Structure 1
Amino acid sequence: MTVLAAVLALLVLPLAGVPAAGAETPSVKLSKSQAGTGGSVTVTGTGWRPKTLLMMLICGRSVPSRGVIGGTDSCANADGRAVTTDTKGDFSKELPVAEPPEPCPCVVHVATVTGEKAAADAVFMVAGHSVEPLPEEESGARLSVLTDIRLDGSSGLLTSFGAPPSRTLVFTVGNVGTAAVKDPVFQVGTSHGVFAPQWEEQQWQGTIAPGKRAQIKLPVELAAGAHGDYTVSLKYGGKMLAEQPWGVGPPWGVTLFWILLGVVVPVAVFRVGMAAVDRLRPRGSAGRGARRRSLRLPGLALRMPRLSVPPAPESRTTKTKTPLTPPTPTTTTPPTAPPTSTRPLPWFTPDSEPGIPSGRSALRTPRERSDDPTGRAS
């Protein structure tokens, strides 16, 4: 074990003096320290993250030790330039000189646009621009953020349908001055992408004694339907205290609503159109056709022959010899005419044929015809 520990120590010692990758502090250098409006200055940077988008601005009322006091509102935003670092984290690009909205002292301010926040300043003098001394820092009442700020809360169901996303900005501040701070007024700003933040003043009710700390909660709300990457910034007394990224998901409920609307509306229009066609369809031709068909049916029934089931064949009786008996006088009755039907019948019907007695069917089998006592052949 002692030998293994010695070997590991020999391997680690040569690497102890090598700095970690990406640990170099971002910095910027200028080709000249002074230039007038209409000129340009070359800005060179080193130590930045590789392939990172940066924004270069000329800002007034700023010094590297205190940063941009008024935020990006003190910079010439319209004349800024964007640049992307190379694979080593370096860049070099010309920046046109423009007068910032605030008086000098001025700096060239370089900051990251996306990802982890990083910034660097270099002193620069705009020739012909006014110069004013910076305001003295109040030594009596000063607040400083002691912990990283965070955003508490979550998006609800209504946010998925376009409701404004809202969070609670939570941070802890401490009074590092000698006087108490009563009801401090903070500035909370929200920005989307490369756009400047929109500031809103919010007052916290309470008093922070010297050397004491307090946890502060401020509501933050975005516009309806907002989605994407946002940044929440916090300022107090014109000084930037902290920034916090905020990623807002897309409102999928709105997309689902439009999809359903695109399906339901055409179906409803189709149903209404079919109902209107059924109501406006002419019905005269259909009625005449139905009456014409109803009149034809009885005629077809009259022309069809009547079919009757033939009667069952008469059972054959066997002739038996009976003893002779003396004849008995009988009275003869005149034959009676068969009853006549009140309904006239044609001269030929399926039930009767000429020369065949009534009650016998014309449709007989050969056997019945052979047994016919009349001897009539078929």
Structure 2
Amino acid sequence: MTGQAGPAAPRSGGHRGAGSPFAGSFVALLVALLPALLMLSAPGAGAAGTRAADAKPAVTLSEQQAGKGGEITVKGTGWRPNTLLMMLICGQSTQDRGVIGGTNSCANAEGRAVTTDTKGAFRKKMPVAEPPVPCPCVVHVAAVTGEQTTVDAVFVVAGHPLAALPKETAGGRLAVLATTRLEGESGILTWFGAPPARQLVLTVGNLGSAPVKDPVFEVGTAHGVFAPQWEEQQWRGTIGSGRKAQIKLPVELTAGAHGDYQVSLRYGGKVLAEQPWGVGRPWGVTLFWILLCLVVPAAVFRIGMAVVDKVRPRSSRAQGRAWRHHPRRGTGKSTKAPKTSKTAKPRRGPGAAEDPAAVPPDGPAATTAALPWFTPDSAPSENRPTTKGHS
């Protein structure tokens, strides 16, 4: 009996542990339902993520056509929050090719700036102006700060001439093969505010199947966080298929420019190279202004003193001149009376005896000189009798 009671306990414990398969089945059921739960919640999250990933900057216009002097409203969505944008009406431009001539093809004076809100949207009115080149035209919206982003919306300027776009060069494809560098040095004139100038040197190769003749590059200069200002420059020459060539393009900044700049090279709408450029401060201009602030007040003071001297009364001027020519104040000469002349003494040798008779008498009578209008004989005397005789 005792030996049979022993095995009974394990069977009892095994019966209590019979719930483990049930628990395992429950866990397996949860694992099987987990993908379904994820799929139930995935559409909303997936759609939001897709919308966030696919959100691209977009621009819409209140009117597709307007004449010069009119006004349109530009709306935008999908931009980066709190970003400064520039809106321009540009000619010789399409949505596919963009602004062919850069900002030189836009009505820059009538452009408008706008900042996006926290959601990346904006709404701004801008006047309609005629660009300097013929249409087709677009409303060009570009980010000024941060990453360069541009969007073009087709727009028709009523009454503005229309011309065909320049032909695209097909078959050629340029790429930078060597390190880009800036050559040149600043002269003494740059130290006084002259425009800094350099040469952008790079080696490009034609990776296409057709030669590239006289390619037109765009050189842009950007200061700080601002977007680059592009300028077209044509390189004269032909780069055959599979060939390379060294290209040198001039780069010049505005007068008095200083700080950190970024020089970019673009061809066919694609940025080929970027090169930083640190420009020193023109200290000569600062020195000039410091000297000007010192010289001008001194000159004004002297002119003012001369005017005051001319307009004050004549008596005051005469008194001032007398004061300036006073022996003590003006000339600084001594006021002592001149010494009377004495009889020149003959020079004697070191051993010669001194003649007592030649020594002038001491006392006031010996040092007093006779007045020029009296001679010793005609000088009046108190002891001389008068002509009237004794009284």
Corresponding residue for 2:199?
168
The secondary structure found in structure 2 opposite 1:36 is strand
Separation in 2, partners of 1:129, 1:281: 80
Could you say if the C-alpha distance between residues 264 and 130 of structure 1 is closer, same or farther in structure 2, counting changes exceeding 3 Å? closer
Separation in 2, partners of 1:343, 1:125: 122
User: Quick one: which amino acid aligns to residue 292 of structure 1?
Assistant: K
Corresponding residue for 1:81?
112
CA contact (8 A) 2:191 2:284 kept: yes
CA shift, 1:90, in A, is 2.0
Q: Which of 240, 260, 264 is the matching residue for 1:209?
A: 240
Q: How does 1:123-202 map to 2 (within 5 A)?
A: 123-127=154-158, 129-140=160-171, 142-146=172-176, 152=182, 158=188, 159-181=190-212, 184=215, 186=217, 188=219, 199=231, 201=233
Q: Which of 64, 87, 92 is the matching residue for 1:34?
A: 64
CA shift, 1:119, in A, is 1.0
1:122 and 2:153 are equivalent in the alignment:
yes
1:282 and 2:325 are equivalent in the alignment:
yes
Corresponding residue for 2:137?
106
User: Quick one: which amino acid aligns to residue 35 of structure 1?
Assistant: Q
Deviations 1:69-102 (A, max 9, x none): 1222322333322111123332111233344344
CA contact (8 A) 1:33 1:125 kept: no
CA contact (8 A) 1:106 1:125 kept: yes
CA contact (8 A) 2:233 2:249 kept: no
Deviations 1:265-286 (A, max 9, x none): 989999xx9xxxxxx9637457
CA shift, 1:112, in A, is 2.0
Corresponding residue for 2:93?
62
Corresponding residue for 1:258?
289
Q: Which moved more, 1:221-230 or 1:158-167?
A: 221-230
Corresponding residue for 2:344?
none
User: Quick one: which amino acid aligns to residue 107 of structure 2?
Assistant: A
Q: Which of 309, 327, 336 is the matching residue for 1:292?
A: 336
Separation in 2, partners of 1:54, 1:191: 15
- How many residues are aligned here? 275
The secondary structure found in structure 1 opposite 2:103 is helix
Percent sequence identity over aligned pairs: 56
The secondary structure found in structure 1 opposite 2:334 is helix
The secondary structure found in structure 2 opposite 1:259 is helix
Deviations 1:332-358 (A, max 9, x none): xxxxxxxxxx9999xxxxxxxxxxxxx
Deviations 1:287-326 (A, max 9, x none): 8973526769xxxxxxxxxxxxxxxxxxxxxxxxxxxxxx
Name whichever structure is richer in helix by fraction. Answer: 2
Could you say if the C-alpha distance between residues 265 and 82 of structure 1 is closer, same or farther in structure 2, counting changes exceeding 3 Å? closer
Deviations 1:89-121 (A, max 9, x none): 321112333443444433221012344422111
CA contact (8 A) 2:179 2:202 kept: yes
CA shift, 1:200, in A, is 6.7
The secondary structure found in structure 2 opposite 1:167 is strand
The secondary structure found in structure 1 opposite 2:251 is strand
Separation in 1, partners of 2:140, 2:178: 24
CA shift, 1:233, in A, is 6.1
Q: Which of 249, 253, 269 is the matching residue for 1:222?
A: 253
Deviations 1:24-77 (A, max 9, x none): 765223144622215443322233333222111222322222111122232233
Could you say if the C-alpha distance between residues 77 and 65 of structure 1 is closer, same or farther in structure 2, counting changes exceeding 3 Å? same
Q: Which of 46, 55, 80 is the matching residue for 2:77?
A: 46
CA contact (8 A) 1:59 1:109 kept: yes
1:97 and 2:128 are equivalent in the alignment:
yes
Separation in 2, partners of 1:36, 1:343: 121
| Higher-Rg member (1/2) | 1
TM-score by length of 2: 0.52
The secondary structure found in structure 2 opposite 1:290 is coil
Structure 2 unaligned spans of 5+: 1-41, 306-322, 341-358, 363-391
User: Quick one: which amino acid aligns to residue 97 of structure 2?
Assistant: R
Supply the RMSD in Å over aligned alpha carbons.
5.1
Q: Which moved more, 1:176-185 or 1:286-295?
A: 286-295
